[in-house]
Amino acid sequence: MPADEARGALPLRSEEDIITSRQKVRLLTQQLKFSLVDQTKMITAASELSRNTLVHGGGGQMRWELLDDGMRRGLRLYFEDTGPGIPDTRLALTDGWTSNKGMGLGLPGSKRLVHEFELTSTPGEGTRVSITRWK
């Protein structure tokens, strides 16, 4: 895999950027030889989090890094915005809770699709979500 593919970033400022982020995650998971099921899980989580970054955070970026700990390889994605933030992250991770008439599946659903999930948010400063899936 080319070194320039090991890390990178894409803007999340439009619906088209969400499509581009999904395509990038598909390419990265294919390069890592993830199974089709694992590819789908990571792409689905990335799509949900990209949309959250755009809709709730006012736009931001998706960053990625390919991981290799010697025994396994993985993909870590970061979704970052400088939007209004999430006042209660614990509540936001509760199934069924929604801040915007949605189904309330985005954050908790994304968390279930990956091996590692980290959410940090400061009201008035923005939100950062990190997800990792290992092969």
Predicted pLDDT of residue 39: 97
Average pLDDT over the chain, rounded to an integer: 90
pLDDT of residue 90: 85
Does the residue 1 lie in any domain?
no
Is 126 a domain residue? yes
Please check whether residue 2 lies inside any domain of the structure. no
Of 89 and 67, the one with more pLDDT: 67
Separation of alpha carbons 105 and 119, rounded Å? 15
Predicted confidence at residue 104, as pLDDT, reads: 46
Domain that includes residue 55, residue range: 7-134
pLDDT of res. 62:
98
Q: Is 68 among the domain residues?
A: yes
- pLDDT at site 105: 58
The burial of 35, by beta-carbon neighbours within 10 Å (0-12 exposed, 13-18 middle, 19 or more buried), is given as exposed
| CATH for 65 | 3.30.565.10
What is the spatial distance between Cα 6 and Cα 95, in angstroms, rounded to a whole number?
A: 33
The answer to whether residue 37 scores a pLDDT higher than 70 is yes
Average pLDDT for 13-17:
96
Average pLDDT over residues 3-15: 87
- Collapsing DSSP states into helix, strand and coil, what is residue 97? coil
Examine residue 32 and state whether it is found in any structural domain, yes or no. yes
Question: What number is the average pLDDT over the span 54-71?
Answer: 95
Structural domains counted in the chain: 1
- Is 105 within the bounds of a domain? yes
pLDDT in tens, 93-133: 887 656 665 544 579 889 999 999 999 999 999 999 999 99
